[in-house]
Amino acid sequence: MTTLNEPGVDFHLKLNQQQFNIPSELLNRNWEKFNTLYDTYSTELHGQFNILSILLENSDNDQQSIEKLNDIINSVNVLQKRLSQLQDNELTILERIEKRVEYFRRFEKLRNDSNNDGLLKWYRSYTDLLIADYLVRHGSNSTDYKSSTITNSGIDFIKARGLEDLIDYDVLIEANKVSMELLENKNLGPLLEWIINNSSHLTEKGSHLQFQALLQEYIELVRCSDYKGAIGWFQTQLSKFMNVYPRELKLAAGILVFFKSCLNESRDNEQTNEQKLFQTYFRKQIYQKHPLSTLSSNNVVRNAELSRYGPLLDRDRWKNLNEMFLHEFYSLYKISYHDPLLIYISLGISSLKTKDCGHPISTQLVSHENEKVNDYIKSNFVSTDCPVCNPDILPLAENLPFAHHIQSSLFENPVMLPNGNIYDSEKLVSLSRRLNKMGYTELRENQVMDPIDKSIYATSDFVKMYPT
Amino acid sequence: MSSLLETIDQQWVKSKLYIDKDERRTHLGKCVEEVHDFKIQLKKLKAHLLKHGSSPQKRLVIKEKLAKSHKNWDSSMKKSLNSSITTYRKFSKACVKPLNEFQLDSVYVNKITPQRLMYLDRAIHSHIARYYTNIADGATSNEMLQYLNSKYRIPSSIAKDYVEMANIINEMKTGNLNTCIKWCQENKLELLHFQLHYLHAMSLLSENKPMDCYLYIQKNLALTVGKSSQLRMAKPVSKLLAKIVIGETIPAAMVQSYLETCVECFTKQYCLRNKLPLHSALFLVVLSGVIGFQVFTKYEAIRKVSHVDWSTADELPFHVKLPPFLSNYHPVFICPVLKEETTKENPPFSLPCHHVLSKKSLDKLSKNGTCNFKCPYCPVMSTKVKTKRVNFLKLP
């Protein structure tokens, strides 16, 4: 047993299920490709062989037979090249699995040897993997034109740390690429392509993603006034969904007519902040007094109808589409939807967070006439290494629950000073000695200074405490 | 002993995933070989056809051979393909499925506010700057800062504290210990100073320069070892001297691992002297998360079957046992009566007998200060007026 109270090896494997889920899925996909490729060639070769055997029946066709046989040999040759590429892929994936097993073997050995320093180092690489995962998922991508590969800060970090075999960044970057195109460039291209390549998985799950993506393309065509294109898209891509999504398609057809009026409508609807506040709190529209002239019956009818189209034209649809895509993508590879780094941080903060966190002692300090005493105490006694109190972590901790403690965890030799402050008596005495030694104070042998309010007490004032 | 890792490693990665592990031969690999063999056969038959094509009898034989070899090839391809996918499926069932016993997402109940994620970016910056400034490309400090900024957007305000340390470490790794030795002298770090000289002596011996090593020991180590207070340092030095005498060298790997020890000692001292965190906060939080994870998943599993919900209180429903270096940052006082942690709103109070209780339990015992009460832990009687608000303070 080590003193870290860390989980066992198998638990670590389970925590890192994605390190094995992804390669396992990749192996299957690679096999699919291999198999399809073979099937295509196999059918073609069957035909070729049939022709060849007919040709061979007749001795007049010698020249043609040889040519046919040459064709066949060429096809087989091409097949061999293409298959061996896929087989190289297989070996790469298998090697990744092997490297990962080695990684956890290393942990197992450190744990069995109770090598705490080694374990901390191992956990640092573990943390780096989580950081890399987060950076790859969210980093902004840039294309390296020399090798035409996509890179981002996460991939740079992985390469600098030599972690390439432990994280499937190529898969994560694929998701990031589609996601960024959706959110930043409002470009559906990569998403539609992904949907086509993964349609079997999507239909199996009964996903709405394909329909929603196609609908979005239609809406964008309407938005940029390409009505002809929109109608064409509707007829070729959307009409086949008529039975499944009749309501959505009716609305979609409707915006073709009402689009312009919808735009005016949304301009009319620009609300003041006050109205928005009212709406968020009471969840209903504030009563508006319209000038009589606009209250024509025509207007009222129009208002009632147009609100239906709002959701279709909402810009948030892009965000929803992205979320829907990520859900499908991550579930395909059995990757957690939330960033693992955030999950670990949430659990870690809650395990650490005490009621004292974020209440720095520095706010309680009473300053001493000698600035040097203040500085010395501030730099040596006030700061805490508590990770939750760290200025970068504390804001993340705000809404998270506190740790649950069943026992007090205080310090040795607690003594109370007359002002009610309780300290470790030995440490308090040694602090006062050091202040004297630095020449900041002139305390007598039996005196101590309270570092918080700077009052001076005699050690005979110490009251031994019995906190349970 | 780990059973799952053992299974994955011994049974699968080292055996069943391959036909022959030593040659890294898989079923798909066999397919490729079969395509190759088939191609060779076809070429042979083509040669036959060219040679004997004029004879109708031989042509018939060739025709049959072609058909047969095509058929055989096709069936063995299908067989290998089948074996391949069956192997994957079995692997998935035996190794991958057991890993998915729980979902990571299921324990992520208390979510981090998305609006706060910019602070996480800063925590990541500090983490990278703390540990990896030395892998930044660049000869000068400015170039290193620029690299960190352009690659990871780490502001130089965060990274600049670590540049000197990174430079010294990089020098050490290329075998130049002078700057580090100087730094040790300035900071009066005798032990590290000694270790660095010792490291250099070791590297001289491993480069097979025993005389240089001997002279170096005489010049730089003898004096320290001679001091009676430093006797424990004499032992490794005498070992080194013995190796010189009997004409042995030391392996380079040993020097390398000692170098790493020295780098770590130096890092520790440098952070300590410059008031930099020894570990990044992010690392400590993640480590606590790993340790806590086992309890969270256990609770989640129990919650699922017994239909209890996460308690609505702002406290975890269970205790996570963290190692001492992760749990002694703040004094935690649990009121022995109410079993609640004291807070600013419910502070600890001391009774005349110097037992400590929380304000809430004091209010209950004294019926809001209206009557006398006995200390729950000893026979002393008390009133609320006689109690005193106390404050636990932890000195480092």
Residue A304 has pLDDT above 50, yes or no: no
Residue A302 has pLDDT above 80, yes or no: no
Residue B151 has pLDDT above 60, yes or no: yes
pLDDT, residue A43, reads: 94
| Neighbouring residues of B102: CB distance < 8 A, sequence distance ≥ 6 | A14, B297, B300, B301
pLDDT, residue A291, reads: 43
Residue A239 has pLDDT above 90, yes or no: no
Residue B333 has pLDDT above 60, yes or no: yes
Kindly report the average pLDDT of chain A as a whole number. Answer: 83
Nearest residue in B to A132, CA atom: B124
pLDDT in tens, A16-67: 999 999 999 999 999 999 999 999 999 999 999 999 888 888 777 778 888 8
Residues of A in contact with B101 (CB under 8 A): 14
Partner-chain contact A21 B99, CB within 8 Å: yes
Q: Is residue B301 part of a domain?
A: no
Residue A2 has pLDDT above 60, yes or no: no
- Tell me, yes or no, whether B31 and B163 share the same domain: no
Q: Where is the domain boundary, B71, B101, B131? A: B101
Average pLDDT of the segment spanning B67-75: 93
- Tell me, yes or no, whether B88 and B130 share the same domain: no
Residue B224 has pLDDT above 80, yes or no: no
pLDDT, residue A249, reads: 77
Lowest mean pLDDT among A255-259, A305-309, B82-86, B293-297: A305-309
- Domain hosting residue B14, numbered range: 4-101
pLDDT in tens, B271-302: 988 888 889 999 999 999 999 999 999 998 88
Q: Is residue B369 part of a domain?
A: yes
Q: What is the CATH number of the domain that holds B358?
A: 3.30.40.10
The larger pLDDT score, comparing residue A358 to residue A301, is at A358
Q: Where is the domain boundary, B273, B307, B340? A: B273
- Tell me, yes or no, whether B128 and B255 share the same domain: yes
Residue B42 has pLDDT above 70, yes or no: yes
Q: Where is the domain boundary, B229, B256, B273? A: B273
Average pLDDT of the segment spanning A152-175: 91
Residue A274 has pLDDT above 60, yes or no: no
Nearest residue in B to A395, CA atom: B116
Strand partners, B332: A409
pLDDT, residue B280, reads: 93
Query: Would you place residue A292 in the very low, low, confident or very high pLDDT band (cuts 50, 70, 90)?
Result: very low
Q: Is residue B299 part of a domain?
A: no
Query: Would you place residue A259 in the very low, low, confident or very high pLDDT band (cuts 50, 70, 90)?
Result: low
A408: nearest CB among B63, B333, B377: B333
- Tell me, yes or no, whether B141 and B26 share the same domain: no
Residue A352 has pLDDT above 90, yes or no: yes
Look up the ipTM and state it.
0.90
A252-A270-A276 Cα angle (round to 5): 105
- Tell me, yes or no, whether B211 and B340 share the same domain: no
Distance from the Cα of residue A228 to its chain's centroid:
39
Helix (H) / strand (E) containing A449: strand A447-449
Partner-chain contact B49 A66, CB within 8 Å: yes
Average pLDDT of the segment spanning A350-374: 85
Q: Is residue B108 part of a domain?
A: no
Partner-chain contact B56 A59, CB within 8 Å: yes
- Tell me, yes or no, whether B93 and B130 share the same domain: no
**A73 with B40: CB under 8 angstroms?**
no
- Tell me, yes or no, whether B268 and B351 share the same domain: no
- Tell me, yes or no, whether B260 and B123 share the same domain: yes
Residues of A in contact with B102 (CB under 8 A): 14
- Total domains present in chain B: 3
- Tell me, yes or no, whether B222 and B130 share the same domain: yes
As a whole number of angstroms, the distance between CA B252 and CA B206 comes to: 6
- Tell me, yes or no, whether B38 and B10 share the same domain: yes
pLDDT, residue A277, reads: 57
As a whole number of angstroms, the distance between CA B104 and CA B109 comes to: 10
pTM attached to this predicted model: 0.87
Kindly report the average pLDDT of chain B as a whole number. Answer: 89
Closest CA to A158 of A193, A134, A176: A134
Q: Is residue B295 part of a domain?
A: no
pLDDT, residue A202, reads: 83
Partner-chain contact B275 A104, CB within 8 Å: no
pLDDT, residue A279, reads: 58
- Tell me, yes or no, whether B253 and B142 share the same domain: yes
pLDDT, residue A36, reads: 95
- Tell me, yes or no, whether B14 and B155 share the same domain: no
State the count of interchain CB pairs (< 8 A) between A and B.
Answer: 423
Which residue type is seen at B243? Answer: K
Average pLDDT of the segment spanning B3-15: 89
